């Protein structure tokens, strides 16, 4: 009876983000959840389009589908709501044992108003667009439009109310993204009278506290006084974040699901500089996460949308978005073959989720951002990795929350990388054969098939003092003593290849020894899961 009661409690517990010791977990049904996600294409949010989404999701071995719910589709005429699509979506997700992350395409979708209903799109008097410095309306809706906020918030609250009704006891839907890639391209802020007035106001105390100024500015005062050359961008960021906060707060008041925003990135490597039309002003770029935290406390996470494949940039982006006050969550990453390996880095670093974008068979390719292919060949490289993680996803999320996991993705330089573990150090190298050391075979020019471009990765969970779960592809890993074991000779006590079963029990398939361990542990194209026990002598 106590157990039944505990299950009951877990089933009714709402999904939520928790933080401990600077690490984060997304709790679903009361336990950390690893989101092996996939995002559908922008226009697949219609019942008849779903079969091509589910087919790709299955091939991806994803446990979570991210998919839009558009304002235009749930409120095509003002005050008339239609949740037919949402009902079918939730029903079909349950049948497939898949969770949902809904993307609220409202006032801003990639900064523009393409997903607002027609009755909003062209009523600029009631739903004002931003004005440029000459007073001319631009493409983007103004974050100072009080009627726009009211209308968007109203529709969103209706959506959350409906979700609570149909899913409040099941939690098929585990998170909601509020808007999509907000900000404004080409304009720093809104120069309308409402915008001008707000810009002349004082920086709110919460922003002063959470967003330090990159320049020597006043400790308080107007945006210009405090943030100097960054004032316009920071002000616009605050305006949009505050607008999002009103929507998220109202939605969570009726149904308290975790909520997040996503970001079209600014360059993470070039030195920080004032906005120069080089990214969307007002979005949750890495430099203004503090403003989002201050202005939008009902938004749990700001996540990076990664479409720039260069490994130093990807790593810099992960570094910048993983913070004690911000969980690492990659809600979008390109679906071409350069990106799957980053799953090892994101999930190894303790990310709560990772979702390639464009995982459906709708015959649309967003090349050159993503893959040219729109069929199984595009999905498979993600599917093999997710397939290795999926049976142990719950364990992995728990280990990540406990700070036991690490991960690396092969860099564009193909160079070895080291992983610091408690009492141990691991070295991961790439393009190695399974047998022998490269230095003895200098005459061999050949490299393993499938390693022509970087696609290796390894993630490690330290499950005991000398015990590790290791998952990888196209990589070699070797361990040596460090810390308390520094300088001690060591060897494998045991290396089992296997997987966890549905009860969470480790099931061994074979014991790696001899050739299989003499030259490190070598992962090839098929991601394998190893349970590695080490010992010193
Ligand atoms: C993304 C997706 C979708 C290095 C692009 C990325 C999705 C949105 N936008 O397919 O539109 O809804 O969130 C913008 C990337 C900008 C170019 C980066 C060049």
pLDDT tens-place string over residues 327-349: 999 999 999 999 999 999 999 99
Q: Is the CB of 264 under 6 A from ligand 1?
A: yes
Atom of ligand 1 nearest to the CA of 42: 12
Given ligand 1 and candidates 45, 357, 360, which is best to mutate, with the most ligand atoms within 8 Å of its CB? 357
Cα–Cα distance for residue pair 531/470, rounded to 1 Å: 6
Atom of ligand 1 nearest to the CA of 370: 10
Please name the helix (run of DSSP H) or strand (run of DSSP E) that holds residue 407, with its range, or none: strand 405-409
Q: What is the pLDDT of residue 10?
A: 56
- Give yes or no for residue 7 having a pLDDT over 90: no
Strand partners, 36: 354
How many angstroms separate the alpha carbon of residue 238 from the centre of ligand 1? Answer: 22
Contact predicate 277/327, CB 8 Å: no
Per-residue pLDDT tens over the stretch 84-122: 999 999 999 999 999 999 999 999 999 999 999 999 999
Atom of ligand 1 nearest to the CA of 262: 13
Confidence of residue 6 (pLDDT cuts 50, 70, 90): low
Per-residue pLDDT tens over the stretch 121-132: 999 999 999 999
Q: Is the CB of 42 under 6 A from ligand 1?
A: yes
Q: What is the pLDDT of residue 439?
A: 87
Least confidently predicted of 133-142, 284-293, 410-419, 440-449: 440-449
What token pair was written down for 525? 């194209």
Cα–Cα distance for residue pair 442/186, rounded to 1 Å: 53
**What DSSP string describes 275-297?**
--SSS-BTS--GGGHHHHHHH-T
Confidence of residue 12 (pLDDT cuts 50, 70, 90): confident
Whether this model's ipTM surpasses 0.85 comes out as yes
Side-chain-facing half-sphere of 279: CA atoms under 13 Å: 24
Domain 34-402 coded CATH 3.30.70.270:
no
How many angstroms separate the alpha carbon of residue 382 from the centre of ligand 1? Answer: 19
Place of tokens 């992983």: 419
How many angstroms separate the alpha carbon of residue 146 from the centre of ligand 1? Answer: 28
Given ligand 1 and candidates 40, 115, 369, which is best to mutate, with the most ligand atoms within 8 Å of its CB? 369
Given ligand 1 and candidates 264, 278, 329, which is best to mutate, with the most ligand atoms within 8 Å of its CB? 264
Counting Cβ atoms within 10 Å, is residue 169 exposed (0-12), middle (13-18) or buried (19+)? Answer: exposed
CATH code for the domain defined by 417-536: 2.60.220.20
Atom of ligand 1 nearest to the CA of 181: 13
How many angstroms separate the alpha carbon of residue 444 from the centre of ligand 1? Answer: 42
Q: Is the CB of 66 under 6 A from ligand 1?
A: no
Cα–Cα distance for residue pair 229/69, rounded to 1 Å: 37
Contact predicate 294/210, CB 8 Å: yes
Q: What is the pLDDT of residue 438?
A: 87
Whether omega for the bond prior to residue 368 falls within 30 degrees of 0, making it cis, is yes
Q: Is the CB of 307 under 6 A from ligand 1?
A: yes
Least confidently predicted of 178-182, 396-400, 441-445: 441-445
Q: What is the pLDDT of residue 1?
A: 54
Mean pLDDT of 15-41: 98
Q: Is the CB of 180 under 6 A from ligand 1?
A: yes
Q: What is the pLDDT of residue 408?
A: 98
Per-residue pLDDT tens over the stretch 145-173: 999 999 999 999 999 999 999 999 999 99
Cα–Cα distance for residue pair 318/327, rounded to 1 Å: 10
Q: What is the pLDDT of residue 325?
A: 98
Mean pLDDT of the chain: 97
Q: What is the pLDDT of residue 84?
A: 98
Other beta carbons less than 10 A from residue 96's beta carbon? 12
Per-residue pLDDT tens over the stretch 440-493: 888 998 999 999 999 999 999 999 999 999 999 999 999 999 999 999 999 999
Per-domain residue ranges for the chain? 34-402, 417-536
Per-residue pLDDT tens over the stretch 243-295: 999 999 999 999 999 999 999 999 999 999 999 999 999 999 999 999 999 99
Atom of ligand 1 nearest to the CA of 366: 10
In the chain, what percentage of residues exceed pLDDT 90? 96
Measured by CA distance, the residue closest to atom 18 of ligand 1 is 307
Strand partners, 107: none
DSSP 72: H
Q: What is the pLDDT of residue 207?
A: 98
């Amino acid at each position: 009876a106590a157990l039944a009661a505990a299950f009951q409690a877990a089933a009714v517990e709402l999904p939520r983000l928790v933080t401990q010791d600077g690490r984060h977990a997304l709790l679903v049904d009361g336990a950390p959840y690893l989101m092996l996600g996939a995002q559908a294409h922008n226009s697949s949010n219609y019942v008849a389009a779903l079969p091509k989404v589910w087919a790709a999701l299955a091939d991806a071995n994803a446990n979570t589908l991210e998919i839009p719910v558009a304002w235009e589709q749930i409120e095509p005429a003002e005050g008339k709501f239609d949740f037919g699509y949402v009902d079918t979506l939730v029903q079909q997700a349950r049948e497939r044992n898949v969770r949902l992350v809904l993307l609220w395409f409202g006032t801003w979708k990639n900064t523009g108003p393409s997903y607002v209903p027609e009755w909003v799109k062209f009523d600029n008097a009631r739903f004002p667009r931003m004005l440029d410095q000459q007073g001319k309306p631009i493409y983007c809706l103004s974050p100072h439009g009080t009627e726009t906020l009211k209308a968007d918030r109203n529709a969103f609250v209706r959506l959350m109310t409906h979700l609570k009704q149909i899913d409040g006891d099941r939690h098929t839907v585990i998170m909601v993204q509020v808007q999509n890639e907000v900000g404004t391209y080409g304009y720093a802020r809104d120069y309308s009278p409402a915008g001008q007035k707000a810009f002349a106001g004082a920086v709110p105390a919460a922003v002063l506290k959470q967003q330090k100024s990159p320049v020597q500015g006043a400790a308080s005062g107007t945006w210009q006084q405090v943030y100097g050359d960054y004032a316009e961008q920071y002000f616009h960021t605050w305006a949009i974040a505050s607008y999002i906060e009103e929507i998220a707060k109202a939605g969570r008041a009726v149904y308290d699901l975790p909520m997040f925003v996503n970001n079209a990135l600014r360059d993470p490597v070039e030195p920080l500089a004032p906005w120069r039309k080089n990214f969307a002003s007002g979005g949750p770029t890495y430099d203004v996460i503090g403003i989002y935290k201050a202005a939008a406390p009902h938004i749990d996470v700001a996540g990076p949308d990664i479409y720039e494949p260069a490994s130093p940039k990807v790593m810099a982006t992960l570094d910048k978005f993983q913070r004690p006050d911000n969980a690492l969550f990659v809600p979008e990453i390109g679906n071409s073959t350069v990106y799957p390996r980053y799953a090892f880095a994101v999930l190894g670093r303790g990310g709560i989720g990772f979702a390639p974008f464009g995982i459906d068979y709708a015959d649309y390719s967003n090349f050159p951002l993503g893959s040219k292919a729109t069929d199984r060949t595009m999905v498979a490289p993600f599917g093999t990795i997710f397939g290795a993680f999926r049976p142990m996803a719950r364990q992995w999320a728990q280990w990540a929350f406990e700070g036991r996991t690490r991960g690396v993705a092969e860099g564009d330089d193909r160079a070895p990388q080291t992983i610091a573990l408690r009492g141990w150090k691991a070295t991961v190298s790439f393009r190695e054969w399974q047998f022998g050391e490269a230095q003895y075979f200098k005459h061999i020019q050949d490299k393993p098939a499938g390693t022509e471009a970087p696609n290796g990765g390894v993630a490690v969970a330290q499950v005991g003092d000398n015990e590790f779960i290791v998952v990888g592809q196209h990589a070699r890993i070797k361990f040596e003593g460090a810390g308390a074991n520094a300088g001690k000779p060591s060897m494998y006590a045991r290396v089992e290849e296997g997987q966890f079963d549905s009860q969470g029990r480790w099931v061994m398939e074979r014991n790696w020894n001899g050739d299989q361990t003499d030259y490190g542990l070598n992962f090839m194209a098929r991601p394998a899961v190893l349970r590695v026990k080490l010992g010193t002598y």
